[in-house]
Amino acid sequence: MMYRFVLQKSVTVTGVSRVCHITRVSSDRVWISDIDNLILSNTAGDKLHHLTDIRSIWGGHTVNNDGDLIYIDSEYNINKLSIENTVKTPLIKYNTAPWEPLSVYSSPSTGDLLVAMYNTDTDTGKLVRYNSTGEHIQTIQYNNNTGQGLYREPIYITENRNGDVIVSDLDRVVVTDRGGSHRFSYTGHPSGSGLLPHGICTDALSHILVCDYNTQSVQMLDRDGHFLSQIQTSPHGIDTPRGLSYDDNTHLLWVGSRYNNTVNIYRVVDRDSLTGK
C-alpha cells in the first residue's frame, strides 16, 4: 500500500530558532526545543511555557503517561516537570563520564524510561532502561548474534506497538525487540544507499517514520523495516526536516525544520483514500 502526506497547516513557533525535537502532550499542545530553549506551544505557535536549563540538541525530552515533561538538563541529569509546570523532580543523576545522555523516551506501554548514551572516548553508544522512578532495569549495547556494538551515536528514540525499541543512530535506524535482541537495521532505500536519520516516531499502524538529512525527506517504513513511502518537505517550506511527532488521536504528523522555527502538520493517508477507492 502506498501512503501520501497531505499538508494541513504550517505553524511558526514562538521562542525557538529551529526545531530539534517535538514531544506531544495532547492534540493541541507540544514541547518543542532548539539548542538552548524548550518551549510548550499550542497549534497556533504561541509560547505557553519556557525552559532554558536544558541539553536538547537531539531527542532530549519526552512526556510520560501522566503528561509530565521529562528532560535532560544542562548538567546531563534527567528531571521530571509536573504537568502544571510547577514542580521539578530529579529522576536520574549522571556522573558517569565519559558516558553522556543524548536522548530520553518514556514508553507509553510500560512507563519505563529509555535513555540513549554516548561514550566520548570510544565513540560508541548504548541504551539504558529505567523504571518510572529511575531504577536501572536493562542495558542494550551489543548485537546478540555478532557480539558487536549496536550503536555509534544514538540520538533519537521511539517505541513501536509491539514493544520494539527504535533508534536513530549515526547512519542507520537500529531496531531491537523489548528484550534487547537486534531485529534489523535500516540504511536507506534502496538498502545501503545512505541514511542520516534524526527525528523518529511511529504511527497507529506501527509504521516507522524518520527524518533523513541525506534525502531531505521523511521516510515511512513498515514495522519490519521495509520502505513504504516518503515526503519531500522542502516544497512546503521545511528545509532539512529534524523534529518529528505523530498524534494517534488526530492521525497528524508534526514535522519541524532544522534551519527555522517552522512546523508543518500533515495528515497521512493511503493512496485509495485520496482517489476515493
d(CA 217, CA 234): 8
d(CA 33, CA 19): 6
Q: What is the mean pLDDT of residues 176-201?
A: 95
Query: What is the band of 2 on the pLDDT scale with cuts at 50, 70, 90?
Result: low
Residue 214 has pLDDT above 50, yes or no: yes
Do residues 167 and 127 touch, judged by C-beta distance below 8 A?
yes
Query: What is the band of 277 on the pLDDT scale with cuts at 50, 70, 90?
Result: very low
pLDDT for the residue 276:
41
Helix ranges restricted to H, the chain = 271-275
Give percent of the chain above pLDDT 90.
Answer: 80
Averaged pLDDT score across all residues of the chain: 92
| The CATH homologous superfamily of the domain defined by 3-275 | TolB, C-terminal domain (2.120.10.30)
pTM above 0.85, yes or no: yes
**Bond from prior residue into 98 cis (ω within 30 degrees of 0):** yes
Looking up cell 572516548 gives 121
Question: Within 13 Å of residue 66, how many CA atoms lie on the same side as its CB?
Answer: 12
Task: Output the nine-digit C-alpha cell for 211.
Answer: 527524518
Please state which of the ranges 32-36, 237-241, 253-257 shows the lowest mean pLDDT.
Answer: 237-241
Do residues 237 and 262 touch, judged by C-beta distance below 8 A?
yes
pLDDT, tens digit, 9 for 90 and up, residues 119-177: 999 999 999 999 988 899 999 999 988 999 999 999 999 999 999 999 999 999 999 99
Residues 6+ apart with CB under 8 A from 65: 106, 108, 111
**Strand 227-232 with 217-221, pairing:** antiparallel
pLDDT, tens digit, 9 for 90 and up, residues 55-113: 878 999 999 999 999 999 999 999 999 988 889 999 998 877 899 999 999 999 999 99
pLDDT for the residue 232:
79
pLDDT for the residue 1:
55
Query: How do the domains of the chain map onto residue ranges?
Result: 3-275
